[in-house]
Amino acid sequence: MIQKFLFMNNIINSGFSVAFDLDDTIFYERDYVISGFNQIDKHIENIFGYKNSSYKLCHYFENRDSNPIRSLCKELGIDIENELVKIMRESTPKIKTRPGIKSLMKDLKLNGFEMGIITNGRSETQRLKIKALGIEELIDVLLISDEIGLKKPNLEVFKKYQYKSKKSKFLFIGNNPTLDIYPANAAGWKTIYCVSNNYMLNKFNKPDADWHVTNFLSKTIKEIFLINKANKLKAC
């Protein structure tokens, strides 16, 4: 335990750039999906008078339908799939950060850490999410796959982040072993695997990350960044 604390004290300090995955790491993707479904529900009711479309969409989604919007259109006999997809992508979502993450980001920022996001997705959609979460001003480096023409797990994404960063050491926090943890490890970054609400952290799904956490209020998170009882970072 002493060796672990000495290691973290030497490594995780303000010389680091801390980058986060967005979907299912900073917020729960399911909340975004439900928010979009609610917008679609209103649109369909206004045009066709059909009610409970969001309930039907959620049913398809929970049953792992590969295209809930297409399935709904087929069920209702309406040919507006592209229109509904556009609403889903361009509506400002009603979402919030996972508990503890915004205060963590603020503390890191105040203590000299560089903050970043690396995310796969459409530019407009991902930027709307970041704006809705109220974290725009906390982000120093933002890489969106649609804007750079590269997607995780391509290692060039992490190299591009390093080029844009003003720091020399890097830590990545993500929920997806394949897209987040493995490529960040390969790029020589430190990694924190934070499970989403879709998974349980157990011996069968623990990727080879430096730390594993189940939430951003955990004792492990506070230890990693040397956060004291007042929830402020100690001087590094």
User: pLDDT tens digits, residue range 136-157?
Assistant: 999 999 999 999 999 999 999 9
This model's pTM is above 0.85: yes
Supply 85's token pair.
Answer: 């997809």
The pLDDT assigned to 199 comes to 52
**Intervals of the chain under pLDDT 50:** 1-11, 228-236
pLDDT digits (tens, 9 = 90+) for 160-172: 999 999 999 999 9
**CA-CA distance, 158 to 148, in Å (whole number)?**
12
Asked if residue 190 lies in contact with residue 210, where contact means CB atoms within 8 angstroms, the answer is yes
Tell me the torsion sign for CA atoms 131, 137, 217, 177: positive
The pLDDT assigned to 15 comes to 85
Delineate the domains of the chain, giving CATH numbers in brackets: 2-28+96-224 (3.40.50.1000), 30-90 (no CATH)
Identify the burial level of 1 via C-beta atoms within 10 angstroms of its C-beta, where 0-12 means exposed, 13-18 middle and 19 or more buried. exposed
The pLDDT assigned to 234 comes to 39
